[in-house]
Amino acid sequence: MGLLAALGLVAAMLVTGVPRLANGYADRGLHADVDRLPHLVRDVSIAVEQFPLDSPDATVGRADLDRLADALPQPLPTLVQRRWYAAWLDESKLTATGAAPPMDGGATKQVGVRAQTGVEEAAVLTDGRWPRTETDQPAELAVSTAVAETLSLRPGTQLRLTGSRGVAQAQVVGVFEPRDPDDPVWDDLTLALSPVVPVADGEPYLAGAVTDWAGIDAVSAASGALSMYGWRYRVDEQRLDTSMLEAVTTAVAETRRTEWLPRSKTHTSLDFALARFAEQMRVVQALLAIVLAGLVASLLGLILLAARLTVRRRRDELALLRARGASLATIGLRTLAEAAPVQPVAVLLGWLVGTRMPGRSDGAPWAVLALAVLTTAVVPLLAMHSQRRVGLVAGRADLTRQRPSARRLTVEASVLVLAVLGVVLLRRRGLDAAGGVDAYLSSVPVLVAVAAALVAIRLLPWPLRLAGRLTRRARGALLFLGVARAGRGAPVALGPLAVLIVAVSTGVFGGVITTTVAAARDRAATLTVPADAWLTGYAFAPDAADALTAVPGVRAVARVWVESNRRLLSEAGPGAKALGQARVLVVDGPAFADVVARSGVDIDVPAALRAAARGDGPVPAVVSAKVAADLDGAAVADVQGRLYEFHVAGVADDFPGVGLGVDRFVVLPWQALPEYEFTPIIPNRYLIAGDDVDQARLLEVADEAQRRRQSAVLGVEVTRAQVPAAVQTWRAYREGLERTGANEVLTLAFTASAAGGTALAVLAVGFAVLADAAGRGRMLSRLRTLGLSAAHGRRLLVYELVPLVVVAAVTGAVVGVVLPRMLGPALGLSAFAPGVPIRDHLDPLVVGGVLATVVLGLMAGLLAENLANRRMRLGEVLRLGEES
């Protein structure tokens, strides 16, 4: 009864705590994913050109800010956290000139003007004041410190803003700094904080300025540029949870289809992002259901075995009651009265512990109620079933019937048929059922494990009988006795064997899936960041490699140039045939191989790229299959405006550094391409090998190299890089894959499968020992009278358990390894490693875990045996009336 209570407690805690943890992890992943979305995707923005119609007053639209928010489809109004109204003139519509010399010469200055709520509260003035445009006066502007330094502006500077139909007068009256550059209020004011400096002749400066509502009206009226008006609403990710995904997705889609104002457009892609997350959630919920089904099935098997053992040990008591005239109902009520005060309380305690887990519960705890009923009623039901016929002669409990009944054969055949049918349906339909998680399909792996256990139970006695015949000739009786007892297949031993197979298969299944997803993520990280670090920028000085190598922690660097949508031609002449576009990657082959080797990433650099040297003919190249299909011999690739002829030296499905999901690419060896002193190939990325790289110093050196390159192109000294360099490490990218989407729920599922499967497997072995403790105690007492020592008794137990445990572990391991291959794409694992194919991967640690389970099982059996022997006093179990 105590064992039943413990199992009920654990089961209730499992079915309550794991879903709560899963919901908590899923909500946290949803919050993180939404928080990382760009504002153009995440926010709901309504924009209209020249609103109000033919009205010069931009302030009229402020009254609609709250009205439009309240009119959004439910539940969006309750989810809106912040809101902004803005009026603006795009930088492409206005060209700025001024009286100051820096504004009159050099490249063109295109300056956008914007008025927006919340700007003054999110900034600090460093000079001057905020704009307050008066009637018939120049529009007043405020600029950031970065714009002021780039365009040499200060309070009092007069500007002329030229539009399509006129010139507007403006004056800079203030300079500000943002309190927090990452505040969402600045999302549409990127150019106001970070102006773009040209890096090539003919490119303009791009900048932004802030004005007030009257300033927008004045500039729009004088320049002829049409102003835009918009209302932006930010969804608070902390108010979202996974139970709202469908409702919010539908509401956002309806919002995008609605014309809120005449000629207005709604911009958002939040519904697509939520749909992608929901797709991952459907997959991970199905996988979690598989794991929970395996663990719950193992627990239910142990509960049934514990109940059966309870009835078996009270067989004589129940038979005596029946002989004295007790009815089946009387026996059921008697045992129910004993279970009712204990089992529901244990299940309730497990439920209380489970509810303390962080997370969110889903609905009523029906599974807990079912567990309370099961654990309470299982012993009375089995007791009544066992006493349907009154028997006065006790049979041997260590032997099973040689011929199983037709009813049992029918049940076993039905399980086999259901398992096979489930595998077929699962491969055709997948786990992602439209109506939610399909209970039958989610239990298919458990049915397969149960079917394998039934087959193993049927086949196990044959090799054990053969082994028994061979051990008859062995020296000593211990090995023969152990194998003989294992071969007899007592029901209490075969039951734990089936539970052990299901538990081991669940744990191995989780381990194989975990290592498969981990291997795919490792590959994705390697293809994205093919070294310890990946430095990206716009254009670095040709001599930047030496400065980067001098950064503390850097051991080697390799220059890289990569760009998308480059032309491919059949030849370099005027009659060249266009072969489409592709992403072109230029790498220094020897340096690339050196960085890869020093970084320790799993990349095999093709020999054609490593050994290529400068010559007169086409250079060797590695291309994708789609590019290779379009080529007929040599071809020409566009690299920074110059055409380089190449021939195909290798075809690959992917290549490190090209990016994930790119199916058209060409990789050229840098060292084989002809370069000239005044027109070298300019790198825009660097591969870096090194440990504990000083990233701050690395970015300083990289931006200095970019600044020198821009200064050389423009012919004037540039104070800062146009596009600040960024560094991405392999480790950070790999860790990021674990924190995106529903990956934490996936990790929880497979952690629960590995840990729970191992624990239940060990418990099943211990149960097998305890189940027949009385019979083994009688045997040991008899053998001790013949000189058996305590050490020999433990060895005898090992001989008895090894065949059962090894067979169960091997069978469960085979089922756990085969299931991912058998189910294939039905598992939907590609959602957790996008851009790379999912290949089954069996880590040696999984095999080691199975072996460790066998050892732990044997140790648990020995511990259970010692505890049972101490309680039973082996010297007295042969006395009459003390057999149990």
- The model's pLDDT over 361-380, given as tens digits with 9 standing for 90+, comes to 877 788 889 888 988 998 88
Q: Exposed, middle or buried by CB within 10 Å (0-12, 13-18, 19+), for 221?
A: middle
User: What confidence category does residue 113 fall into, taking pLDDT thresholds of 50, 70 and 90?
Assistant: very high
pLDDT of 423 strictly over 60:
yes
Higher pLDDT, 53 or 392: 392
Tell me the C-alpha to C-alpha distance, in Å, between residue 305 and each of 379, 492, 497, 516, 815: 10, 7, 11, 34, 23
- How far out from the chain centre does Cα 739 lie? 6
List pLDDT tens digits, range 534-552.
Answer: 999 888 888 888 888 888 8
Q: What CA–CA distance (Å, rounded) separates 85 from 831?
A: 37
- Sign of the CA dihedral with 699 first, then 701, 704, and 705 last: negative
Average pLDDT value for residue range 310-320:
83
Q: What are the structure tokens assigned to 730, written together?
A: 């392999």
In this predicted structure, which of 146-155, 531-540, 646-655, 849-858 has the lowest mean pLDDT?
Answer: 849-858
Q: What are the structure tokens assigned to 150, written together?
A: 């780039």
Q: What are the structure tokens assigned to 745, written together?
A: 């729920």
Average pLDDT value for residue range 160-176:
89
User: What confidence category does residue 231 fall into, taking pLDDT thresholds of 50, 70 and 90?
Assistant: very high
Q: What CA–CA distance (Å, rounded) separates 59 from 43?
A: 22
| The pLDDT value given to residue 53 | 44
In this predicted structure, which of 210-219, 334-343, 662-671, 754-763 has the lowest mean pLDDT?
Answer: 754-763
Q: What CA–CA distance (Å, rounded) separates 265 from 259?
A: 7
Write out the DSSP string of 127-159: EE------TTSPEEEEEEHHHHHHHT--TT-EE
Q: What is the pTM of this model?
A: 0.78
How many CB atoms are closer than 10 A to CB 798? 15
User: What confidence category does residue 116 fall into, taking pLDDT thresholds of 50, 70 and 90?
Assistant: very high
User: What confidence category does residue 54 fall into, taking pLDDT thresholds of 50, 70 and 90?
Assistant: low
- Percentage of the chain with pLDDT > 90? 13
- How far out from the chain centre does Cα 264 lie? 38
| The pLDDT value given to residue 52 | 45
User: What confidence category does residue 199 fall into, taking pLDDT thresholds of 50, 70 and 90?
Assistant: low
Average pLDDT value for residue range 127-144:
91
Higher pLDDT, 266 or 136: 266
In this predicted structure, which of 392-406, 420-434, 730-744 has the lowest mean pLDDT?
Answer: 392-406
Average pLDDT value for residue range 703-731:
78
Average pLDDT value for residue range 41-50:
87
Higher pLDDT, 879 or 666: 666
**One-letter amino acid for residue 226 of the chain:** L
Which H or E run contains 729? strand 726-729
Average pLDDT value for residue range 180-201:
85
Residues 17 and 352 sit within 8 Å (Cβ to Cβ)? no
Q: What are the structure tokens assigned to 842, written together?
A: 């069996």
The DSSP bridge pattern shows strands 554-569 and 635-639 to be antiparallel
Q: What CA–CA distance (Å, rounded) separates 387 from 379?
A: 12
Which H or E run contains 281? helix 270-313
pLDDT of 152 strictly over 60:
yes
User: What confidence category does residue 859 fall into, taking pLDDT thresholds of 50, 70 and 90?
Assistant: confident
| The pLDDT value given to residue 130 | 93
| The pLDDT value given to residue 174 | 93
Q: What CA–CA distance (Å, rounded) separates 276 from 37?
A: 13
Q: Is the peptide bond before 75 cis (omega within 30 degrees of 0)?
A: yes
| The pLDDT value given to residue 880 | 40
Tell me the C-alpha to C-alpha distance, in Å, between residue 50 and each of 65, 162, 220: 17, 18, 10
List pLDDT tens digits, range 569-601.
Answer: 887 777 778 888 899 999 988 999 999 988 888
How many CB atoms are closer than 10 A to CB 575? 7
Q: What are the structure tokens assigned to 5, written together?
A: 């209570």
Average pLDDT value for residue range 479-506:
71
Sole residue written with tokens 């295109």: 110
| The pLDDT value given to residue 144 | 93
In this predicted structure, which of 2-6, 168-172, 271-275 has the lowest mean pLDDT?
Answer: 2-6
What is the SS3 assignment for 576?
coil
Q: Return phi, psi of residue 208, to 5°.
A: -140, 155
- Would you give the DSSP letter of residue 184? G
Q: What are the structure tokens assigned to 782, written together?
A: 């008899």
pLDDT of 461 strictly over 80:
no
| The pLDDT value given to residue 881 | 43
For all residues of the chain together, what is the average pLDDT?
82
Q: Where are the alpha helices (DSSP H) in 37-63?
A: 39-42
Higher pLDDT, 404 or 6: 6
Q: What are the structure tokens assigned to 576, written together?
A: 């060249």
| The pLDDT value given to residue 50 | 67
pLDDT of 89 strictly over 70:
yes
| The pLDDT value given to residue 450 | 85
From 390, 376, 392, select the one nearest 333 (Cα to Cα): 376
Q: What CA–CA distance (Å, rounded) separates 590 from 669?
A: 9
Q: Is the peptide bond before 52 cis (omega within 30 degrees of 0)?
A: yes
User: What confidence category does residue 172 fall into, taking pLDDT thresholds of 50, 70 and 90?
Assistant: very high
| The pLDDT value given to residue 51 | 47
- Percentage of the chain with pLDDT > 70? 89
Write out the DSSP string of 800-867: HHHHHHHHHHHHHHHHHHHHHHHHGGGG-GGGGSTTS-------HHHHHHHHHHHHHHHHHHHHHHHH
pLDDT of 107 strictly over 70:
yes
Average pLDDT value for residue range 644-670:
88
Average pLDDT value for residue range 614-622:
83
List pLDDT tens digits, range 276-306.
Answer: 888 888 878 878 888 888 888 888 888 888 8
pLDDT of 401 strictly over 70:
no
The DSSP bridge pattern shows strands 109-116 and 533-536 to be unpaired
Q: Return phi, psi of residue 642, to 5°.
A: -105, 150
